[in-house]
Chains A and B, each alone.
Chain A
Amino acid sequence: MTLAVDVGIRRSPFHLNARFAVDEPGVTALFGPSGAGKSTLVQAIAGLIRPERGRIVIDQEVVFDAAERIAVPAWRRRAGYVFQDGRLFPHLTVEGNLRFGARRHRGAGAEPAFRAMVELLGLDGLLARRPRSLSGGEKQRVALGRALLANPRILLLDEPLSALDEGRKGEILPFLARIRDDTQVPIVYVTHSLDELTRLADTLVILDRGEVVATAPVAEALADLELLPYTGAYDAGAIVTAEIDSHDRADQLSLLAFDGGRLWVPLLDQAPGAPVRARVRARDVVVALSEPADSSANNLVPATVSGWREGAGAHVDLQLRAGSATLLARITRRSFRRLGLASGTPVVAVIKAVSVESGGTRATAEPV
């Protein structure tokens, strides 16, 4: 058990009552609207606030148990924390910040580890600088490196991108993906951005008003019709795990293969065989009963309707199965009736756009 949390925290306007566990390395996203209690929860894991009730276990060590009166102080928990606002020490250089935690942990901060981290996060040119002269994105990279160099047992990222503009976010996401892939540290990632969790998360813990609504693998959770009120809104979409089949350099396209079909996407730079994560938004999927003969869409995926859910407005969300993959399609109520759709109806999913996250190096959402 890497992390087990079961706590009750009194907070206005509601009480936080959360229970979830993380069993393996990877990214667990705490997802939910602002004020759902996500930050409060990670602060409790870090030891920065003390819950009224419950138990927290990090890496087999009970760091908090209200009944047993155990409360390991934050500085002994080895839980790395990256704050929304970076919180770099203004009186230290970037290097001083990076080494702050490393100095305090035996086995951490060895010179090779330091060099590797500087390399991984692209901090080489910044070491002698002061935090105030860094851009927002640079600050968050330093904060990440600082937390990781303290050799944490778990890394808590508390909306690390929310203070950055879109451009800067795109600059940091690849580094986060690299950390996810290159280190074995389990990550708890607090976010209310669907885009971030689509790109990074393995497991989704959905919080609403202080309660855990669901815990599930991210692809499953995003394609779950019951969870659409939390994961959906305008941007609802499913994740397809695929690998690169081949490239068509003449047309600048790459072909992805997944269990259930194939997808053409704008040219990727990885070699064939590389795993990628493709995101297909529900509103980018058109449903047809047979293959349209003369359509501009390149991606036609045969699928079966496996469920639907009526939205508040004119639309119906369909869940489609294509092999082991699940897709969502958002169509109008009228089309739903006209096509006579029901569970089990065979259809063709006409996909207008796919965005691909692959090792965090690329993200596109272009019609293909």
Chain B
Amino acid sequence: MLLSDAEWQALILSLQISLVAVSLALPFAILVAVALARGTFPGKALLDGLVHLPLVLPPVVMGYLLLLTFGTRAPLGAWLFETFGIRLVFSWTGAALAAAIVTFPFQVRAIRLALEAVDPGLVAAAATLGAGPVDRFLTITLPLALPGIVAGAITAFAASLGEFGAIITFVSNIPGETRTLPLAIYTAIQTPGGEAAAARLVALSIGLALLGLTLSEIAARRVRALVGP
């Protein structure tokens, strides 16, 4: 292939981090989306604002806040390290956490819209057939919202692949550990004579984006055929 080992590494790492970030955030995104779509509770506006914060804050700020929270000198980071041996800074798991948080609003928004679009009449029909609240959510609301959930996950995955600021600030730019595609491109550009490598990585990114778009379109169509009206 045209790619060097380091470039392959960056590609695999990007995919791995994005995948973990999306799967990690998905259950929480569903919970928060349900709370925002259906719930009425004090502090709902605050939760809504908090969830959308990463959308309006510069990623670098998010990365710095993560560093302040999970750094080995920070109370939470120190406790995690001493109790479980988990160190998030300078590790790919930290990159996944950063990507998860930064792309969290994308998931919540898509899932919330999908939940709100589910016909409450169908949920009422399920109730008259003997399905309790949790049962109704799992067998009616969730399956019918699935296209939206898939769309949200795909958007978040794509956004994760491109995350730069939060990752480089929080977990730095370590080859083979936290150097994802965008970081590799940045490094190549900063390196004298790295233009060819940068061009290859840029082409790779474009190809990846196109592939992702196609796959997401296919997935959305499949899911819609499965649950569609």
Query: Interface on A for B, CB 8 Å cutoff?
Result: 46-48, 73-81, 83, 85, 87, 89-91, 100-101, 104-105, 132, 146-147, 150
A74: contacting residue among B128, B135, B226, B228, CB under 8 A: B128
Q: Which of B11-19, B40-48, B119-127 contacts A (4 or more CB under 8 A)?
A: B119-127
- List, in ascending order, chain B residues with CB within 8 A of A80's CB: 128-129
Query: From residue B63, how far is it (CB to closest CB) to chain A in Å?
Result: 40
- Across the interface, do B121 and A85 meet the contact criterion of CB distance under 8 Å? yes
5 smallest beta-carbon distances between A and B, as pairs: A101-B129, A104-B130, A91-B227, A81-B128, A74-B127
Query: From residue B229, how far is it (CB to closest CB) to chain A in Å?
Result: 5
A75: contacting residue among B121, B131, B143, CB under 8 A: B131
- List, in ascending order, chain B residues with CB within 8 A of A146's CB: 129
Q: A81-B125, A83-B125, A104-B129 are in contact. Are A91 and B135 (CB under 8 A)?
A: no
- List, in ascending order, chain A residues with CB within 8 A of B227's CB: 90-91
Q: A75-B132, A83-B121, A85-B121 are in contact. Are A90 and B144 (CB under 8 A)?
A: yes
* Candidate in B126, B128, B228 with the most chain A CB atoms within 10 angstroms: B128
Q: Name which residue of chain A comes closest to B227, CB basis.
A: A91
Query: From residue A286, how far is it (CB to closest CB) to chain B in Å?
Result: 48
Main secondary structure of the interface of B (DSSP, over half): helix
Query: Interface on B for A, CB 8 Å cutoff?
Result: 119, 121-122, 124-133, 135-136, 139-140, 143-144, 226-229
- Across the interface, do B128 and A75 meet the contact criterion of CB distance under 8 Å? yes
Q: A89-B122, A91-B144 are in contact. Are A147 and B226 (CB under 8 A)?
A: no
- List, in ascending order, chain A residues with CB within 8 A of B124's CB: 48, 74, 87
- Across the interface, do B128 and A147 meet the contact criterion of CB distance under 8 Å? yes
- Across the interface, do A89 and B121 meet the contact criterion of CB distance under 8 Å? no
- Across the interface, do A73 and B127 meet the contact criterion of CB distance under 8 Å? yes
- List, in ascending order, chain A residues with CB within 8 A of B135's CB: 75, 104
Q: A83-B125, A85-B121 are in contact. Are A90 and B130 (CB under 8 A)?
A: no
B130: contacting residue among A75, A87, A89, CB under 8 A: A75
B126: contacting residue among A73, A100, A132, CB under 8 A: A100
Query: From residue B7, how far is it (CB to closest CB) to chain A in Å?
Result: 43
Within the assembled complex, what's the spacing in Å between the Cα atoms of A100 and B135? 11
- List, in ascending order, chain A residues with CB within 8 A of B129's CB: 75, 80, 100-101, 104, 146-147, 150
- Across the interface, do B128 and A46 meet the contact criterion of CB distance under 8 Å? yes
- Across the interface, do A101 and B121 meet the contact criterion of CB distance under 8 Å? no
Known: A87-B124, A91-B144, A147-B129. 16 other contacts (CB 8 A): A47-B128, A75-B129, A75-B135, A79-B128, A81-B125, A87-B122, A87-B125, A90-B227, A90-B228, A100-B129, A101-B130, A132-B228, A146-B129, A147-B128, A150-B129, A150-B130
Within the assembled complex, what's the spacing in Å between the Cα atoms of A134 and B13? 48
- List, in ascending order, chain B residues with CB within 8 A of A104's CB: 129-131, 135
Q: Name which residue of chain A comes closest to B139, CB basis.
A: A100
Within the assembled complex, what's the spacing in Å between the Cα atoms of A75 and B123? 11
- Across the interface, do A89 and B128 meet the contact criterion of CB distance under 8 Å? no
- Across the interface, do A90 and B229 meet the contact criterion of CB distance under 8 Å? yes
* Candidate in B122, B126, B130 with the most chain A CB atoms within 10 angstroms: B130
Within the assembled complex, what's the spacing in Å between the Cα atoms of A81 and B143? 22
- Across the interface, do A47 and B130 meet the contact criterion of CB distance under 8 Å? no
Query: From residue A28, how far is it (CB to closest CB) to chain B in Å?
Result: 18
Query: From residue A64, how far is it (CB to closest CB) to chain B in Å?
Result: 15
- List, in ascending order, chain B residues with CB within 8 A of A81's CB: 125, 128
Q: Name which residue of chain B comes closest to A81, CB basis.
A: B128
- List, in ascending order, chain B residues with CB within 8 A of A48's CB: 124, 127-128
Within the assembled complex, what's the spacing in Å between the Cα atoms of A236 and B15? 74
Q: Name which residue of chain B comes closest to A146, CB basis.
A: B129
- List, in ascending order, chain A residues with CB within 8 A of B132's CB: 73, 75
Within the assembled complex, what's the spacing in Å between the Cα atoms of A90 and B124? 14
Within the assembled complex, what's the spacing in Å between the Cα atoms of A107 and B229? 31
- List, in ascending order, chain A residues with CB within 8 A of B127's CB: 47-48, 73-75
Query: From residue B140, how far is it (CB to closest CB) to chain A in Å?
Result: 6
- Across the interface, do A89 and B140 meet the contact criterion of CB distance under 8 Å? yes
Within the assembled complex, what's the spacing in Å between the Cα atoms of A91 and B145? 11
